[in-house]
């Protein structure tokens, strides 16, 4: 039996616009809430409704501009989750999160039916790790709800021999064609180079350094490097120890013009970005 879902487009658009409004004026922070048992960093910590709501409120209080909720780990080697199992993790939480978080909510999914259900309870942004290219229903769902979208670059397998930046540009061309054909406005799109997805370590570094080239496409750029394994070489190899590498990479990307940052550690990033913005705004004296 087909579900009948309706969207409160005004509410969705309100959250969407709150998310995009600061872009270009200051760094925008997307806080992460994983309601998964197997995410690489915080799997199982926020699987309960109470823990997830508490974490979302904390992220908002720490300075997050939006809370991104995911119910399927996308780490290397993860076990895919069927849509019904994904929604079983999300359904007890999302409506309350939209009502109580105090900031817009985005859904981290590549499945059309999950996106539709989330948008029907007031989620404003769809964060698709397959850039609208995995499920043909997801772009129409976003367009119908008048939501925003983060289009992330991804690959089925890593190939260290390819030019990863050229691959990203070709991928984004395909994704943007899908978005426009579905009726998604360019003004409601952000791009994500997909650090840690289908790339070797060197290709991840190339993707980060490509920020200026990717910005030439004319869309806000989201960087998602938080606690990822590209920082394993740091002296402190613990997950929490990757904060130093995450901050360094995000500040580098901010200096190159990236505008949105998906992170676990919101308070630390808000403080670092405030210093970054003050230093950039300080008048130079000869």
Element (H, E) at 262: strand 260-263
φ, ψ (nearest 5 deg) of residue 103: -135, 165
Q: Which one is catalytic: 16, 116, 228, 242?
A: 228
Q: Which one is catalytic: 89, 117, 242, 262?
A: 262
111 is catalytic: no
The rounded distance, in Å, linking the Cα atoms of 207 and 160 is 13
Sheet of strand 260-263, all strands in order from the earlier edge strand to the far edge: 189-192, 148-152, 125-128, 105-108, 66-70, 28-34, 260-263, 222-223
Using DSSP, state whether 76 is helix, strand or coil.
Answer: coil
180 is catalytic: no
* Contact partners, residue 242, CB within 8 Å, separation at least 6: 226, 227, 228, 231, 232, 234
The rounded distance, in Å, linking the Cα atoms of 256 and 214 is 11
Catalytic residues: 228, 262
């Amino acid at each position: 039996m087909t579900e009948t879902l309706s969207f409160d487009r005004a509410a969705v658009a309100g959250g969407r616009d709150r998310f995009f409004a600061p872009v270009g004026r200051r760094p925008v922070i997307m806080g992460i809430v994983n309601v998964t048992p197997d995410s690489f960093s915080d799997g199982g910590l926020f699987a309960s409704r109470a823990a997830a709501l508490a974490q979302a409120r904390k992220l908002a209080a720490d300075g997050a501009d939006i809370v991104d909720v995911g119910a399927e780990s996308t780490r290397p080697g993860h076990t895919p989750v069927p849509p019904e199992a994904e929604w079983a993790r999300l359904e007890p939480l999302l409506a309350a999160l939209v009502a109580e978080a105090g900031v817009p909510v985005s859904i981290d999914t590549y499945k059309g039916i999950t996106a539709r259900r989330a948008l029907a309870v007031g989620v404003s942004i769809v964060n698709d790790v397959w850039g609208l290219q995995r499920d043909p229903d997801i772009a129409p769902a976003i367009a119908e709800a008048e939501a925003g979208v983060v289009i992330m670059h991804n690959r089925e397998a890593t190939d260290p021999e390819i030019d990863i930046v050229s691959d990203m540009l070709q991928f984004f061309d395909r994704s943007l064609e899908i978005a426009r054909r579905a009726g998604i406005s360019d003004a409601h799109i952000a791009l994500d180079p997909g650090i840690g997805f289908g790339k070797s370590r060197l290709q991840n570094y190339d993707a980060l350094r490509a920020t200026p080239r990717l910005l030439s496409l004319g869309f806000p750029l989201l960087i998602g490097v938080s606690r990822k394994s590209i920082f394993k070489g740091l002296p402190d190899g613990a997950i929490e120890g990757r904060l130093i590498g995450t901050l360094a990479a995000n500040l580098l990307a901010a200096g190159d013009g990236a505008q949105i940052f998906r992170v676990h550690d919101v308070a630390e990033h808000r403080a670092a970005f405030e210093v970054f913005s003050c230093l950039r705004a300080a008048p130079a004296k000869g």
